[in-house]
Amino acid sequence: MKRKYMALAMALLLMVLASRSALGSGSPHLATSSPTHYAGLVVQFEDGRLLTDCLSFSEENITGLELLRRSGLDIATWGTAVCRIERAGCDYPAERCFCECLAPPCRFWSYWQWRDGRWVYSEVGASQRQVRDGDIDGWVWGDGQSPPTADPEQICPTDGTEASTKSAEPGPEPSAGQTLGSGVDTLVGQYAIFCLMALGLAVIFSLVRMQQRAQRPASLHTLAWLAWLGAAAYLALVNQQPLQSVLLIFATGTLFALSGQRSRRGAQSWGAFLRFGFSVWIVTLAFSVLSADAGDMVLVTLPRQWPIIGGPITLESLLYGLATGASLFAVLLVFATFNLAVEMHYVLRWIPAGLYQVGLIASIALAFVPQMIASLNDIREAQRVRGHKFRGLRDLVPLFVPLVTTALERSLTLAESMEARGFGGIMGKRTVTGVYLLRITTLAGLVALLAGLISRTLNLQGQQSAWAWLVLGAALTLGALYAQGRQVKRSHYRRERWQQADTWVTLASTVSALLVVVTQIQGRQALWYYPYPPFSPWPTFAPPVGLAAMLLAAPALVWPTSAEMLQDDRHGLTHVLPHRAVASDAASQQANDGVPGHDESETDVPIRGQR
């Protein structure tokens, strides 16, 4: 019985193998070929030149953008938008994709479909439209006019006659890496340079950290930090390449860690702020991965019936989320480092004298959140010492009441200090006519600035007229501020001294900003990143931009210590270090700096730590 079953199984197996071999050898055409489909393409250029092609493809359908790409024409795209075809259009990313729409008339590549004997403007983009057998697509460079009337039989004949037909086989897609002239070998070289620069920053951090453990680092000049802030913020805002953002995070994180040695409480406060920024990074990554299903490299496919998040999860969306989050975190880290390294009352000194009241209010507002977080940590530690455990929302009441009370006490103390020193009460001699003239000039300058911005945004009167309004508004506003500042007598609680380390930091920051500006002028490819098709998902790395990020770590190399600053003070200087040793009352420092009528002779008395 078993032999019968074995023989029957063997017979069935032989029949299956014979049938598959017969299908594979007897009808090779059916096994290896697929039906050929045809679609027409019409492209009209600015000079009236008309290009028509009949393209063949083996797929059931392809996108309109893929049809244009397979035509062999040289195109430039921005995501799904077509910026240039051959030499007509805007050469993105060297210039804006819609560079001809900055002023009327707006000229761009319009996308059309041939339906029912006439051209119809496409309601969807070329990447969303599905082109099937017999369809005809049209592209026109201009202000939105349709292509000339076409005869489908002349573009793609259906009666068997020969036509000008191109085989639209899938070819290599253009990528950002190819645009930059970088193949696989070039990418490997760029990644090697990135690793060397990151390793260099790690070595710098280790050496400086070991050197600074013995003595706490002192502060650099406020103007040097402002120059650093301008260069670092500019790079963080214009750069989208993830590798360059990571290098900027490494350089700025080094300064953040070193600044934390000067102020442990400030480091804890801004550390909580950065943890919030990191959580925003995670949310950005999750949103990009779950909401965007574009891309060719599918990692996981979620069920389609799941709302919003259903569909494929691609590598491109993952990389885009990481890059976006890195850029955002770099911006937050730059400003957190600046706020940790520089006291706000020092920044207040460099605000125009005419805006000293606004500057002081802004500095107090900026310091509110860090001070509140520091108070929150102190209260939590005190409650824990008393045995209080936080288990739910009800347990937050003993934490909330002392926090509000501490904030009110700090505000009242600051208000009393400012009132005792005559904040805003003593001004220079001003006439009624002069006051009204300054107000009218300031108002006219602000109105001119607003008119210039509106004209530039909406292209109402052209770019030249917009720039004229902006220049006029800036001149009137700055002139009014200068006139107001001459009427304010300012005093200084302590004076900062410019040292050689400040010169090096300013020079490094200036060179860093110039490298980024030159790179941006030469082309935006080195700062631009878009992983979705038709571009390559793999990020590139520009060594000049990486060098600009490394130069921003210059404060770590030339950062003076307290001993060095004290040695300089013995020569009769009035620079005081560290900040926390010169005065115990932060409110008194903020109220003294920049207060009109404050007698400088009362504040220049030497105290401990000052010569």
Over residues 251-267, mean pLDDT? 75
pLDDT at 262: 64
Helix (H) or strand (E) holding 167: strand 165-167
Which CATH architecture best describes the domain 37-171? Beta Complex (2.170)
pLDDT at 431: 72
pLDDT at 183: 52
Give the range among 162-171, 349-358, 403-412, 506-515 with minimum mean pLDDT. 162-171
pLDDT at 599: 41
Upstream peptide bond of 105 is cis (omega within 30 degrees of 0): yes
pLDDT above 60: residue 145: yes
If 0-12 CB within 10 Å is exposed, 13-18 middle and 19+ buried, where does residue 22 land? exposed
The rounded mean pLDDT for the chain is 74
Q: Could you tell me the pLDDT band of residue 87, with boundaries at 50, 70 and 90?
A: confident
Q: What percent of the chain has pLDDT over 70?
A: 68
Domain boundaries, the chain: 37-171, 184-349+498-561, 432-485, 564-602
pLDDT digits (tens, 9 = 90+) for 392-435: 666 677 777 787 788 778 777 777 776 676 665 555 566 777 77
pLDDT digits (tens, 9 = 90+) for 542-569: 889 999 999 998 888 877 655 555 455 4
Residue among 528, 454, 517 at smallest CA distance from 83: 528
Residue among 131, 148, 142 at smallest CA distance from 61: 131
The helix/strand/coil state of 51 is: strand
pLDDT at 491: 64
pLDDT digits (tens, 9 = 90+) for 354-406: 676 676 676 666 667 667 777 777 887 887 787 777 666 666 777 777 877 88
More confident position, 591 or 90: 90
Residue 67 contacts residue 55 (beta carbons within 8 Å) = yes
Q: What's the chain's Rg over C-alpha atoms?
A: 34
Beta-carbon contacts of 21 under 8 Å, excluding residues fewer than 6 positions away, are none
More confident position, 7 or 38: 38
Place of tokens 């939590």: 380
User: Which of the given ranges, 214-223, 464-473, 479-488, has the highest pLDDT on average?
Assistant: 464-473
If 0-12 CB within 10 Å is exposed, 13-18 middle and 19+ buried, where does residue 549 land? buried
pLDDT digits (tens, 9 = 90+) for 451-473: 888 887 776 666 677 888 889 99
| Neighbour count for residue 49 (Cβ, 10 Å) | 10
Q: Could you tell me the pLDDT band of residue 96, with boundaries at 50, 70 and 90?
A: confident
The tokens for 581 are 């040793």
pLDDT above 60: residue 55: yes
Give the range among 291-300, 374-383, 458-467, 513-522 with minimum mean pLDDT. 458-467
Helices 368-385, 397-420: crossing angle, 10 deg rounding: 130
pLDDT at 378: 80
pLDDT above 70: residue 314: yes
pLDDT at 569: 47
